[in-house]
Amino acid sequence: MTFAYLGLIKPLLRTLPVLGYILPTPVQRQAIPALLAGRDLLMAAQTGSGKTAGFALPVLQRLTLEGSPAAANSVRALVLVPTRELAEQVHGTIRACGMELPLRTAVAYGGVSINPQMMLLRSGIDVLVATPGRLLDLYRQNAVRFDQLQILVLDEADRMLDLGFSRELEELFALLPAQRQTLLCSATFSEEIRQIATGLLRDPLTIEISAPN
């Protein structure tokens, strides 16, 4: 089972070997075709199973093939993450996967000056990786708008709940267009995750994998 078989476009297929990704992981095998087809997804698989590329590749492909360029301050795909370290890491993977695509990406988290982040958002962003608190700050400053949002990803949703982000998440969800693709990633599959998924996802595919690869 190859990445080409999963339906990825040439610019992505050219990039994968450069990153050392020769064959898709089990999670990627299931996630990529479903996400390319536009489905919502609940992806519960343990750390190290390749969830990041599992959502990054189809998200980048859909943004390339569908929708219109991001208008000023608009974001077309939003990836919410619990910490700045994870924000940098996930943004790095998304940038690497998308190196042959003409898409703009950005990362925003708290604990650093908000002004450079506001400047970056001005020209519109295809994929924004952000922590919930800083994203709300940016929204309140009119630095970001969600009317063009096509895709929402919650990465490490279990950790976001553990860190007490549920209220900020609820506040953000209320700002997003209902018509969108939504994807929830988690290392665990708790009752709380199930509940969030029920409220957020539409007819989702559920991928639950406990083995590492």
Q: Pick from 139, 79, 69: which is nearest to 107 by CA?
A: 79
Give the one entry of Mg ion, ligand ADP, none that residue 53 binds, where binding means its C-beta sits below a cut-off of 5 to 8 angstroms depending on kind: ligand ADP
Cβ closest to Mg ion, residue 52 vs residue 148: 52
- Give the three-class secondary structure for 68: coil
Number of amino acids touching ligand ADP (CB under 6 A):
13
Window 17-46: contact mask with ligand ADP (x via CB under 6 A): ---xx--xx--x----------------x-
DSSP state at residue 73: T
Residue 45: CB minimum distance to ligand ADP, A: 6
Residue 1: CB minimum distance to ligand ADP, A: 11
Q: Exactly one of 35, 36, 40, 52 binds ligand ADP (CB under 6 A); which one? A: 52
Give the one entry of Mg ion, ligand ADP, none that residue 50 binds, where binding means its C-beta sits below a cut-off of 5 to 8 angstroms depending on kind: ligand ADP
Greatest pairwise CA separation for the chain in angstroms = 47
Q: What is the crossing angle of helices 10-18 and 51-65, to 10°?
A: 150
Cβ closest to Mg ion, residue 55 vs residue 146: 55
Token pair recorded at residue 63: 């943004």
Q: Which residue has the tokens 């096509």?
A: 150
Helices of type H across 7-125: 10-18, 26-36, 51-65, 84-97, 115-122
98 near ligand ADP, rule: CB under 6 A: no
| Residue ranges that bind Mg ion, judged by CB under 5 A | 51
Give the one entry of Mg ion, ligand ADP, none that residue 69 binds, where binding means its C-beta sits below a cut-off of 5 to 8 angstroms depending on kind: none
Instruction: Give the pairing of strands 205-209 and 151-154.
Output: unpaired
Contact status, residue 45 vs residue 206, Cβ threshold 8 Å: no
Binding footprint of ligand ADP on the chain (CB under 6 A): 20-21, 24-25, 28, 45, 47-53
